[in-house]
Structure 1
Amino acid sequence: MTQTLRKITIRAESYRLIKPFTISRGYKNTADVVVVEINDGALTGRGECVPYARYGETLESVTAEIETIRPMLEGSTAGLNATSNHPLNRDDLQTAMHPGAARNAIDCALWDLEAKQNKQTVPDRLTLHPRPLSSAVTVTLDTPAKMAQVAKQEAAKQVSHQSSDKNKLVKIKLGGADGIAADIGRLSAIRDAVPEAALIVDVNEGWHPRDIVSHVEALKSFNIDLIEQPLPADNDDILKDIDLPFCADESVHDSSDLYHLNPGYTCVNIKLDKTGGLTEALKMLHLARDKNLKVMVGCMVASSLSMMPAYYLGLQADYVDLDGPLWLEKDHENGLVYSQGEIILPTTPLWGWD
């Protein structure tokens, strides 16, 4: 019996943002992604990734990496798996490619294709029950007054299920070139504007060890839920000696990193573009639980095609930060719905559905 070859399509796409997205490493006005489609002759699975500039990834390098693996994915004679005589599946992919954006797009496309082939949704396969998810909303780096104003506006949009606003979650980008003292001023203005909201502070490696040591008490006074990656990944040893709720992002990529994670981190940020897809992200989540770590599911700025696999991961997380599509001028049809600070799955989602 002749096996039908898969067909792989790779393309770059760009989405205009409603306003610049600014962090300590710079800003951007577009979300630039790579989309992979895998067609088995009848059905097509799709996945999307965001090249991670922090690790030297570009649209061109990610596309080239996917092209390299194309024969093995398509099942051409030259690319067939020598031991099992089949095109690469998700299990094969974990060893055939390293973690990163390229593997993420392929892995998610295979999940989507499998859902269609088996006439079974991804949440059914994972025995998960979709529900509205509370998500953090990001306030990007700016002046204290502007950040406080945006934080207040975003918190006001979020539904309160309690008598107070303590369940409202705002994520603050800090680590500006003007230093930690200026960031303390930003935090003070924001906390005054949203006194009851839960705060995640994301520094993107923008502080120095001496800065944190000299500002510990000030940071404690703001009652912050998480301080995400305050120091460079190669200079974060001091965190284990400081009593603040640190979350690892750039310091942890996939499940293997959890075995030597700095004990100063009590939470890890799982992003599919770091883990190289949903398959490894699920493995990482379960290992993090075994190690008594809290889990945040995060994202890059991208469309609902990137966000939907992460949404299913978020159903099992402590914190969800999946507001990427909110920054786009236009998202996909049948994408995630954002309402009052919650993410809602549409009736017929664009990904992971039969």
Structure 2
Amino acid sequence: MDIAVRVETWPLIHPFRITGWTYDALDLVVVTVRDGEHEGRGEAAGVDYLGETPAGIADTIASVRDAFRGGMDRARLQSLLPIGGARNALDCALWDLEAARSGQPAWRTAGIATPRPCLTTWTIGAEAPDVVAERAASYAHARALKLKLTGDGLDADRVRAARAARGDVWLGVDGNQGFSLDALERLMPVLVEAEVALIEQPLPIDRDVDLDDFHSPIPIAADESVQGLGDIATLSPGFSAINIKLDKCGGLTEALAMVEAARARGLQVMVGNMLGTSLAMAPAFIVGQLCDVVDLDGPVLFTADREPRADYRDGMIWCSEDIWGGARVAVRPG
């Protein structure tokens, strides 16, 4: 096997603001794994809040080229690299390669009977309340919205603005670790009044213990507090859901195992993304077949997308086999 890796820059339509970060564009790592006859691709953004960078991910991938030359499969990859962006790109590329070799689509190998379109959230960054209202109204086709909150004093107005603009949608919020428990409690009446259905990661990960005895009227999902499979067993009982992201857990292989482990603990399951093109959404879309909440709107935030691309229609996402994970004609050597 041979690995080719490159870093691409994808501009965003609007600056994307969350707690502690603002993005105007995103650098993405794209990997192609070839065996001489077939090839598979994977894409990763990495986990920036853990210090991952596209250059570092690309270097990590380059460091395992020799291991791949001797042959590689998904099971071996799990022990070769830790969770994170590099393993995600390579794991997804191996899934794609396996589909090309076998003629069996990745969704069937993953145990999905028949894939279906999934309702997905459309994300609005932590903008001024009037901008939040404008964006919420502009996403007229969306049937689910997610707001980024920051704990900066404007969050109540952001939530009210979104609900006033779109009284018809499922509404979730994401704190990205920007709150204290006291701040969350002060905001909670507004969230309840606005019929917010889910709160993602309100507290810093080192304050998860504050949720142990907190009885929230709205389900709370762990995001940064759950990176991979091993974190589920030690999760605070204050969480009733987890957000699985392939960049965090290191690919589709571990993501599917996380769904099973979360269900065994009675947790709801969400699939999200660290932004990315349709090439990154397609493997996450397979996870979405097994989830309660799907947040795979990454490509709609960019000025352009890959071809073929995910289909966003009537608030739903559909990823065909042509994007990733389908049988393809063998490539010509050289």
Which TM-score tier does this pair reach, normalised by the shorter chain? over 0.9
- 8 Å CA contact retained: 2:243, 2:271: yes
CA distance in 1 between counterparts of 2:86 and 2:22 reads 23
- Deviation of the 1:215 alpha carbon: 3.4
Deviation, structure 1 residue 301: 1.4
Which residue is 1:7 aligned to? 2
**Corresponding residue for residue 137 of structure 1:** 122
Tell me which amino acid in the other structure corresponds to 1:173.
K
Residue matched to 1:320: 294
Quote the Cα distance in structure 2 between the aligned partners of 1:43 and 1:342. 31
- Which amino acid in the other structure matches residue 33 of structure 2? I
> 2:302 matched to 1:334?
no
- The AA in structure 2 aligned to 1:90 is R
Distance between the aligned counterparts of 1:218 and 1:351, measured in 2? Answer: 41
Aligned residue identity for 1:328: F
Q: 2:26 aligns with which of 26, 31, 35?
A: 31
Is the counterpart of residue 151 in structure 1 residue 123 in structure 2?
no
Percent same amino acid among aligned pairs?
39
Q: Which amino acid aligns with 1:270?
A: I
**Pairing partner for 1:88 from 48, 62, 72:** 72
Secondary structure of 2:232's aligned partner: helix
Kindly report which structure 2 residues correspond to 1:99-178, keeping only aligned pairs within 5 A, or say none.
Answer: 99-128=83-112, 129-154=114-139, 156-158=140-142, 168-175=143-150
Aligned equivalents of 1:50 and 1:169: distance in 2? 24
Establish whether residue 49 from structure 1 lines up as the match of residue 44 from structure 2. Answer: yes
The aligned amino acid for 2:102 is: N
The one of 194, 206, 218 aligned to 1:234: 206
**Whole-angstrom distance in 1 between the partners of 2:304 and 2:162:** 29
- Contact 1:36–1:106 at 8 Å: present in 2 too? yes
2:255 alignment counterpart:
281
C-alpha contact 2:252 2:283 (8 A) present in aligned 1: yes
Equivalent in the alignment of 2:330: none
For 2:258 and 2:311, the matched residues in 1 are separated by 27
Deviation of 1:171 after TM superposition, in Å, equals: 0.5
Preserved CA contact (<8 Å) 1:336 1:349: no
Secondary structure of 1:191's match?
Answer: helix
TM-score, with length taken from structure 1 = 0.88
Separation of aligned partners in 2, 1:99 and 1:29? 26
| In 2, Cα distance between equivalents of 1:88 and 1:330 | 33
Q: Secondary structure at the match of 2:64?
A: helix
CA contact (8 A) 1:138 1:172 kept: yes
Residues 27-52 of structure 1, C-alpha deviations (whole Å, 9 max, x = no match): 11112111111100111111110022
Give the alignment's TM-score, normalised by structure 2. Answer: 0.94
Give the corresponding residue for 1:263: 237
Provide the secondary structure at the position in 2 that maps to 1:20. Answer: strand
What's the CA shift for 1:88? 2.6
CA contact (8 A) 1:209 1:236 kept: no
CA positional deviation for 1:242: 3.0
Instruction: Report the secondary structure of 2:162's partner residue.
Output: helix
Show structure 1 runs of 5+ residues with no match.
1-5, 76-86, 159-167
Question: Which letter maps to 2:146?
Answer: K
Picking from 251, 268, 276, the partner of 1:294 is: 268
Give ranges in structure 2 of 5+ residues lacking alignment. Answer: 328-334
